[in-house]
Structure 1
Amino acid sequence: MSLFNIFDVAGTGMAAQSMRLNTTASNLANADTVAGSPEAAYRAKSPLFSAAMARQMGGVGAGGDADSAMGGVKILGVSESQAPVDSHYEPGNPLADAEGRVYSSNVNPIDELVNMISASRSYQNNVEVMNTAKQLMLKTLDLGK
């Protein structure tokens, strides 16, 4: 594996965590919204990730012809929570249905704050990986002096 692949792997991790932060921000922004029906209520969203492995030629091995694997994160998409939405009686609300009920989102702000902290720290860790790899490359160049 080339030393430059470290930047690719950390970059995919940063992109994944950035998407995670964006969906968390969207969920928090819509946490207090209401709708006139359960179908129209905002549902919490979460990104879907998988491990990405790419095969590359020229890995370290006997004769230099072995394959080497490069990892990373692949963003598969965004899923919507299937948890039930809460309803409460508000007959004066213009969005209320015929029975006077409004339906709020199924976003749990505490879970979203935990997700935000976790995604932020994971993003910072990927930045540290890139900085460390850069410093190691610079130290390697200094060996010849």
Structure 2
Amino acid sequence: MAIDSILDTVRAGMAQERLRLDAASRNIASANVALPADGSAQRWQVGAGRDFAAQLQAVPADTREVSDPGHPMADAQGFVHYARVDMVQEMTTLMTASRGYEANVRSFNMLRGMTLRALDIGAK
């Protein structure tokens, strides 16, 4: 039935946007977490398949160094390593994913209202 395929598409869109929100929020949260001296930074991103099946993936990321010899995670040269996070990009992702999720919710609610109205007309 056509309504089922529309609902499946809306649900897949909502899942995709939720994963984008999750990835961006993880990246922002890790921006000021010190990394071990031998550790590498990870950046979260959403990969999408042909069938709208999206998954959250961690990929290697660059690091930034801050001179703080008194920090317990400082290396031998006195630098503390953090994940390099582009806050503008991550905040933009948060805003666009939030708006995309809201658009899918509005589509779902509109389809639900039309279906209920059609059932109401058919019952009369």
The answer, yes or no, to whether TM exceeds 0.5 is yes
Query: Within 1, Cα distance between the matches of 2:36 and 2:4?
Result: 53
**Structure 1 equivalent of residue 53 of structure 2:** 74
Residue 41 (structure 1) shift? 4.5
Q: Distance in 2 between matches of 1:136 and 1:4?
A: 14
Q: Deviations over 1:2-48 (max 9, x none)?
A: 212211111111112111111222111111112242x5243221111
Please say if residues 17 and 120 of structure 1, whose CA atoms lie closer than 8 Å, have aligned partners that are also in contact: yes
Question: What are the Cα deviations for residues 82-126 of structure 1, in whole angstroms up to 9, with x where unaligned?
Answer: 3x2111222111111111111111112221111111111111111
- Is the 8 Å Cα contact of residues 19 and 56 (structure 2) preserved in structure 1? no
Structure 2 partner of 1:5:
5
Aligned residues: 123
Offset of 1:51 from its aligned partner?
3.8
Q: Match of 1:143, as an amino acid?
A: I
* Percent identity (aligned): 27
Moved segments of 4+, more than 4 Å: none
Q: Secondary structure of 1:94's partner? A: coil
Q: Secondary structure at the match of 1:44?
A: strand
Separation of aligned partners in 2, 1:43 and 1:34: 12
Q: Which has more helix, going by share of residues?
A: 2
Using structure 2 for the length normalisation, give the TM-score: 0.85
* Residue in 1 that maps onto 2:19: 19
Residue equivalent to 2:80? 102
Structure 2: distance between partners of 1:143 and 1:30: 53
SS at structure 2 position matched to 1:97: coil
Tell me if structure 2 keeps the 8 A contact 1:86–1:103.
yes
Larger Rg: 1
Unaligned runs of 5+ in 2: none
Q: RMSD of the TM alignment (CA)?
A: 1.8
Change (3 A) 1:76 1:23: closer
**Cα distance in structure 1, aligned partners of 2:50 and 2:63:** 32
TM-score scaled by length of structure 1:
0.74
